[in-house]
Amino acid sequence: MEKKAKGVEKNDEFKMKTKVTKDIARLKKLLIAKAKRKGLYENFGQKEVGKLKDKFPTGYMGEERLNMDEIQKFSEWAMSVSDKDLQ
């Protein structure tokens, strides 16, 4: 039974990760479109990062760690976007 329980946990983590990943992909598209219209600005994307942190639990263990890692990658992406990336 333990093997089945572990498999269920991994499956749940995968589902949660895909939800985070899907939300991040959607936000990236929205932010790129917004940056093309209005240009880049200080703290670009940080409001969206805050919303993701509010929506998905983040921590240092299990699925919370996966969420935190994905959100951190998105935050780093938002901080490093340049004009060249928008073309």
Q: Return the domain boundaries, the chain.
A: 2-86
Record the pTM. Answer: 0.78
Which one, of 25, 20, 28, lies nearest residue 67 by Cα?
Answer: 20
Residue 8 pLDDT more than 60? no
Q: CB neighbours (10 Å) of residue 48?
A: 20
pLDDT digits (tens, 9 = 90+) for 22-80: 999 999 999 999 999 999 999 999 999 999 999 999 888 888 898 999 999 999 999 99
- Please, where are the H alpha helices in 1-87? 2-38, 46-55, 62-80
Q: Is 43 helix (H, G, I), strand (E, B) or coil?
A: coil
User: By the 8 A CB rule, do 70 and 64 touch?
Assistant: no
